[in-house]
Amino acid sequence: EPEVTQTPSHQVTQMGQEVILRCVPISNHLYFYWYRQILGQKVEFLVSFYNNEISEKSEIFDDQFSVERPDGSNFTLKIRSTKLEDSAMYFCASRPGTAGQPQHFGDGTRLSIL
Amino acid sequence: AQSVTQLGSHVSVSEGALVLLRCNYSSSVPPYLFWYVQYPNQGLQLLLKYTSAATLVKGINGFEAEFKKSETSFHLTKPSAHMSDAAEYFCAVSVNSGGSNYKLTFGKGTLLTVNP
């Protein structure tokens, strides 16, 4: 069964550094998402992406964040200047175009900011 | 805006006992509802979904959930718990937030432990 893959599984970065989290969504899916889960808290929506542009973003997704689908298969989340509070598990998800179809999640990238 | 409340951050049952994980939602429009399970160090795996067809939904691993509009609930049940069911369970709601995004709004999760 096709699956969403994320790399790396764990990223350790110094505060203030840029980090890029990578995702390969399921190939025939049309909608792409990033979520994050701070330790001990619930999973929170960051951004959705459709037709090569951001379709919705949350208040968390400020100017330090950006997303890209550079080559039609990869879907990346960039944090320009990381802060301690960016430490979290970041999940990528994708879903088909039909309304109501569930999102499929990757195993996540654990981001640790030192 | 939609929201999800999961009653009980931690539920403990004996092996073979009934599992009941509670979820209530709030939404101004008819929602899609989902249960996801997260095993340690893994991503979110879909257990089941409600998409306005049958109100009783069957999922994987023997789980099922019933959509009750009058109670705005979508509780997850399994008749007989197995040790392998120990995990964290998340209820999520999805509505069209514009542009057919259908972002997910999650509850805080319920950690299920199964005692031998």
- Of the candidates A8, A5, A21, the one whose C-alpha atom is nearest the C-alpha of residue A93 is A5
- Interior/surface letters B13-50, b for 16+ CB within 10 angstroms, e for the rest: beeeeebebbbbbebeeebbbbbbbbeeeebbbbbbbb
B110, with CB counted inside 10 A (0-12, 13-18, 19+), is buried
Q: Which of A31, A42, A50 sits opposite B106 (nearest CB)?
A: A42
Residues of chain B with pLDDT > 70: what percent?
Answer: 99
Distance from CA of B82 to the nearest CA of A (A): 23
Average pLDDT rounded to a whole number, residues A30-40:
94
B12 — pLDDT class (breaks 50, 70, 90): very high
Q: What is the pLDDT of residue B70?
A: 92
Closest CB to B49 among A43, A97, A102:
A102
CA distance A106 to A15: 25
B-chain CB neighbours of A41 within 8 Å are 108
| DSSP class per residue in A15-81 | TT--EEEEEE--TT--EEEEEEE-TTS-EEEEEEEETTEEEEE-TT--TTEEEE--SSS-EEEEESS
Report which of B107, B101, B114, B86 is spatially closest to residue B26, judged by C-alpha positions.
Answer: B107
Q: What percent of chain A has pLDDT over 90?
A: 83
What is the predicted pLDDT for the residue at A29? 93
Contact between chains at B101 and A31 (C-beta distance less than 8 A): yes
* Interatomic CA distance for residues B25 and B17, integer angstroms: 26
pLDDT in tens, A52-93: 999 999 999 999 999 999 887 899 999 999 999 999 999 999
Question: Which of B52, B100, B110, B111 is most worth mutating to test chain A (most A CB atoms within 10 A of its CB)?
Answer: B100
For position B1, what pLDDT does the model report?
Answer: 82
pLDDT at B21 over 90: yes
Give the minimum alpha-carbon distance from A23 to chain B in angstroms, rounded to a whole number: 13
Which chain A residue is nearest to residue B89, measuring alpha carbons?
A42
Comparing CB atoms, the residue among B104, B107, B109 nearest residue A103 is B104
Distance of residue B38 Cα from the nearest chain A Cα, in angstroms? 9
pLDDT for A98 equals: 85
Say whether pLDDT at B28 is over 90: no
Q: Which residues of A touch B10 (CB under 8 A)?
A: none
pLDDT at position B13 over 80? yes
Per-residue pLDDT for B100 more than 80? no
What secondary structure letter does DSSP report for B16? T
Q: Average of pLDDT values for A27-50?
A: 93
Give the mean pLDDT of A88-103.
92
* More confident position, B50 or B1: B50
Calculate how close chain A gets to B7, using CA atoms only, in Å: 14
